[in-house]
Amino acid sequence: MGVVNVTPDSFSDGGLWFAPDAAIAHGVDLLEQGADILDVGGESTRPGAERVSEEEELRRVIPVIRELSLSGARVSVDTMRASVAAQALDVGASIVNDVSGGVADPDMARVVADAGVPFVVMHWRGHSHTMQDRALYGDVVAEVCRELTARITDLCARGVGRHQLIVDPGFGFAKLPEHNWSLLAHLEAIQSLGQPVLIGTSRKAFLGRLGVPEGAQARPAAERDTATAATTVVAGLARVWGVRVHDVSSSIDALRVVTALEGA
């Protein structure tokens, strides 16, 4: 799953693809690198980010989703708003990826249920400006599994088919570095929930801390692709459903390593 950020303030690219034409061209480039799905989002969810209006989010993503879908791409819309998801599906998106797992907008379950499309349900404890205050766990793996199970139960009760649900443990969302590493080390626990698993470690801050002295500044996001590819190997060996990445080519190479190992 290749990331197409149609935002001026993304942590990973600083707005390089904010203009619609640039975002569309970037999506096409990711397809050429080997992406199976393009995940288009118009609202930054980095720690501390404030929400944009519904009108602005629609203005950003709908033209990009329409054009990429017309080009033959399989497109996922990355949104917490049911109205944005509905309009994105109308212009060609075929997956909804909601970092709130359907919590931020109570109408999201209805939209997804009516459309019958795959729905990515991420572990979430609140919006970006407060989420890191909630990174408190006794056993992060057990608690994430328990909270994702509760989301699955709630969504199914609201009419979403269990076969539609893909779970995401939410790396970097209300998680400290040690929480992220614990989750990555125990992907089998997330898979034990019985749903396909999406992993989104790409360029996250905990990777930028690797090899950096205590108190020093983390490596910038653009210098975290090698570490991201290493996590793709971990995810591939665990046979997860997918990885959501900014640099597709390096993760494709990482998965080729996994395939070669399995073939040997």
Q: What is the pLDDT of residues 154-167, one digit of tens each?
A: 999 999 999 999 99
Contact at 8 Å (CB) between 117 and 139? no
The pLDDT score that the predictor gives to residue 11 is: 52
Residue 60 burial (CB count, 10 A): 24
Contact at 8 Å (CB) between 52 and 73? no
| Six token digits for residue 154 | 């709630």
* pTM for this predicted structure: 0.93
Residue 9 binned pLDDT confidence (cut-offs 50, 70, 90): low
Euclidean distance between CA atoms 86 and 229, whole angstroms: 33
> Which of 81, 151, 203, 244 is the catalytic position?
244
pLDDT in tens, 174-213: 999 999 999 999 999 999 999 999 999 999 999 999 999 9
pLDDT in tens, 74-115: 999 999 999 999 999 999 999 999 999 999 999 999 999 999
CATH of span 2-263: 3.20.20.20
> Which of 204, 209, 219, 224 is the catalytic position?
204
Pick the more confident residue, 257 or 50.
257
DSSP letters spanning 174-205 = S--HHHHHHHHHTHHHHHTTSS-BEE--TT-H
Three-state secondary structure call for residue 122: strand
Which amino acid is located at 79 in the chain?
A: T
Q: Is the pLDDT of residue 10 over 60?
A: no
Q: What values do phi and psi take at 243, rounded to 5?
A: -125, 135
**Domain boundaries along the sequence of the chain:** 2-263
Q: Is the pLDDT of residue 39 over 90?
A: yes
Which amino acid is located at 232 in the chain?
A: T
Annotation marks residue 51 as catalytic: no
Annotation marks residue 256 as catalytic: no
Q: Is the pLDDT of residue 47 over 80?
A: no
Tell me the angle at which helices 140-157 and 108-115 cross, rounded to the nearest 10 degrees: 70
Contact at 8 Å (CB) between 208 and 218? yes
Which amino acid is located at 72 in the chain?
A: G
| Six token digits for residue 131 | 């989420």
The pLDDT score that the predictor gives to residue 19 is: 83
Question: Minimum mean pLDDT among 16-30, 99-113, 213-227: which range?
Answer: 16-30
The stretch 141-151 carries a mean pLDDT of 98
| Six token digits for residue 153 | 């139960």
Q: Is the pLDDT of residue 12 over 70?
A: no
